[in-house]
Structures are given as structure tokens and as C-alpha cells.
């Protein structure tokens, strides 16, 4: 009996993990399907936000590398 219960729990876990992405992508498609961003927002994203994100990633990587020897 314990073996059947264990197998059913594993099966339900795997099935749940497989079907979760299906529901979230459908929800995201419904929420953001009709948005139309203007040219100004796209230009601001390209010129301002993305380079700041790249710089923040580089700074975070360097800080992690510098602090790595001291964390143990």
C-alpha cells in the first residue's frame, strides 16, 4: 500500500510541474496581448534601461567575485 501511495504522489507532483507552465503562459497572453508600447518607450528602453541593466550586472558580478574569498 505504501508503494502505491508513493508512486501516486510522485505522479501527481510530476503532472503538476508539467502543467503549471501551460496555465501561466495562457494567463500572460491574456493579460499582455493587447498592449502597444509607443516608440518613445522603446527608445528609452534601448538607450537608458538596457545599458543600465548591463552595467548593474557587471558591477554585481565584480562585487561577487571580490567578496567570494572572504565568504566561507
pLDDT value of residue 27: 66
State residue 14's pLDDT score: 94
CA-CA distance, 67 to 24, in Å (whole number)? 37
pTM: 0.48
Identify which of 48, 67, 43 has the alpha carbon closest to the alpha carbon of residue 56. 48
CA 26 to chain centre: 16
Torsion angles phi and psi, residue 37, rounded to 5: -75, 145
Instruction: Please write the tens of the pLDDT for every residue from 11-66.
Output: 999 998 888 877 776 666 655 655 667 888 889 889 999 999 999 999 999 999 99
HSE-up (13 A, CA, CB side) for residue 52: 6
Amino acid at each position: 500500500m505504501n508503494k502505491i501511495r508513493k508512486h501516486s504522489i510522485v505522479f501527481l507532483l510530476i503532472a503538476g510541474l508539467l502543467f503549471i507552465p501551460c496555465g501561466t503562459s495562457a494567463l500572460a497572453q491574456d493579460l499582455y496581448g493587447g498592449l502597444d508600447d509607443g516608440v518613445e518607450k522603446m527608445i528609452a528602453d534601448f538607450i537608458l534601461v538596457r545599458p543600465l541593466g548591463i552595467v548593474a550586472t557587471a558591477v554585481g558580478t565584480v562585487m561577487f567575485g571580490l567578496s567570494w574569498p572572504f565568504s566561507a
